[in-house]
Amino acid sequence: MRNALFASTICLLSTCVACAGGGAHYASQGKGHLYAKPQIVAAKKYLQCVPYARSQSGVNIKGDAWTWWQKSKGKYARGRDPSAGAVIVIESGRRRGHLAVVARVLNEREIVVNHANWLNRGRVHMDTPVVDVSPRNDWSQVRVWYTPGDQYGTSIYAAKGFIYPNDDVLRVSSNAMQSARSHL
């Protein structure tokens, strides 16, 4: 009963905030977490995930997404804990991968990312939720929000982990994240 009342209150508040011009907010799967509504936006040019992640995070690695985890070894700190500005490396098949930049951490199992060319034609996905579904809560398996369906996708993807920008890059990438929408 309390959960239903809480979820109803969140939905009502979300509607009121959106109507008041305070920006759209989303309740993630009735869990009560609020974040900006996920959206897909057309970029000025066709974007791949690699150059987008590099420009938004400041992690300066070249090559296909599936190579980033190995190439980052010894150059950048890596780990299993999400952090704003970090790049999550997702496997999407043999010799295929995807990169996304963490915009914010909602809790120990949910993050919001910005990324390009996810199941589409070079467009940018903003404020996309990603959930850790790994049995050990170690971010080794994730599900990604499917914006057109307004729900988490059904596929579970293996994740290598997070590549953390260097401290000086982190300051620059924080500014880049704030201006990410201006490049669209």
Q: Which among 2, 13, 113, 106 has a CA at the least distance from the CA of 53?
A: 113
Q: What is the CA radius of gyration of the chain?
A: 16
pLDDT reported for residue 77: 97
pLDDT reported for residue 29: 52
Instruction: Write the pLDDT tens digit of every residue in 14-42.
Output: 333 233 322 334 554 555 545 688 999 98
Report which of residues 82 and 168 the model is more confident about.
Answer: 82
* Strand partners of residue 125: 40, 115
3-state secondary structure at position 178: helix
Pairwise CA distance, residues 7 & 121, whole Å: 35
pLDDT reading at 64 higher than 60:
yes
pLDDT reported for residue 55: 95
Report which of residues 1 and 151 the model is more confident about.
Answer: 151
Query: Where do the CATH 3.90.1720.10 domains begin and end in the chain?
Result: 38-183
Instruction: Write the pLDDT tens digit of every residue in 66-87.
Output: 999 999 999 999 999 999 999 9
Domain 38-183 has CATH 3.90.1720.10: yes
pLDDT reported for residue 130: 97
* Strand partners of residue 143: 131
